[in-house]
Amino acid sequence: MKKWNLVVDVERCNNCNNCFLVVKDEHGGNDFPGYAAPQPAKGARWFRVERQERGVAPMIDASHYPVACNHCDDAPCMNAETAGVITKRADGIVLIDPVRAKGRKDIVGMCPYGHIHWNDELQLPQNWIFEAHLLDQGWKEPRVSQVCPTGAIEAVKVEDAAMAERAAREGLRTLRPELGAKPRIYYRNFDRVDKIFIGGSLAEIRDGVEECAEGVQVELWLNGERLATTTTDTFGDYKFDGLEPDSGEYEVRLAAERFAEGLPAKLRPAKSEYLGLGRLG
């Protein structure tokens, strides 16, 4: 059986919020019996974009990634207390019955991701329904992927084995896998969110003028072993990314027995670090 998934590319998301707006447009004031009651006019963010900043000026980056109901295969909200109220369809979509869930505010706290929302006016717990009502009408994808201008959101309907193979091949990850909920929203390039980087800049004197030092080999060592080598770019910048925080003692040094002001440098970073401008000696 083919099931629905979302694949989100963190590197492509530019925080345009089209996905958030289109869910508002679809559900604000609109009743879809059997699928979802109208979304509240204010406050509800069934589909929203999170922001993660790393580093310090002048080397800093910001990444964005949308989050919503994960339509988990082992959804914590589906239990003996919600039998007949929350159901999972054969195509992987999780629905909260808008009639049977009336008054069930307790359901909101069952989602460890915080993606079940309370509609105070209607006294209903609600989630993003993957636009199941549209898919059942023959739509090829939900509106959130349809309106994404950068292609950061891709809707995929495949068998579980094919999705697992793709996730392994492309390095796709899910949020908080330690929960064992088996989410159906996957993320590419999520290292930009939960990993850290170490970077810096190099300069040198040429013809009496300080210039960016391009093409200098820089090494990163971890616990006494060389982990990676990179080369400074046109601006003299270097960056080692995708590092685990609090994973030991890192050392940044120049290759070929060269040295620069401030290098070699040893550090045990818990967050992304910029080592500043080093002048070649």
d(CA 51, CA 30): 29
Task: Look at residue 276 in the predicted model and tell me its pLDDT.
Answer: 96
pLDDT digits (tens, 9 = 90+) for 5-32: 999 999 999 999 999 999 999 999 999 9
**What angle is formed at CA 111 by the lines to CA 106 and CA 115, rounded to 5 degrees?**
105
Task: Look at residue 43 in the predicted model and tell me its pLDDT.
Answer: 86
Concatenating the DSSP letter of every residue in 196-257 gives EEEEEEEEEEETTEEEE-TT-EEEEEETTEEEEEEE--TTSEEEEEEEPTTSS-EEEEESTT
Mean pLDDT value across residues 112-140: 97
Answer for the pair 199, 240: CB distance below 8 angstroms, yes or no: yes
Residue 256 has pLDDT above 90, yes or no: no
Task: Look at residue 12 in the predicted model and tell me its pLDDT.
Answer: 97
Tokens of 183: 């989410």
pLDDT digits (tens, 9 = 90+) for 142-160: 999 999 999 999 999 999 9
d(CA 171, CA 46): 26
Answer for the pair 228, 243: CB distance below 8 angstroms, yes or no: no
Helices (H), the chain: 18-27, 132-135, 143-146, 160-170, 191-194
Tokens of 109: 């706290």
pLDDT digits (tens, 9 = 90+) for 31-87: 999 999 999 988 899 999 999 999 999 999 999 999 999 999 999 999 999 999 999
Answer for the pair 129, 89: CB distance below 8 angstroms, yes or no: no
Domains of the chain and any CATH numbers: 3-193 (3.30.70.20), 196-279 (2.60.40.10)
Specify which residues 243 forms β-bridges with: 196
Mean pLDDT value across residues 93-107: 98
Residue 198 has pLDDT above 90, yes or no: yes
Task: Look at residue 230 in the predicted model and tell me its pLDDT.
Answer: 98
Residue 257 has pLDDT above 90, yes or no: no
pLDDT digits (tens, 9 = 90+) for 211-252: 999 999 999 999 889 999 999 999 999 999 999 999 999 999
Task: Look at residue 207 in the predicted model and tell me its pLDDT.
Answer: 87
pTM for this structure?
A: 0.91
The rounded mean pLDDT for the chain is 96
Q: Tell me the percentage of the chain whose pLDDT exceeds 70.
A: 100
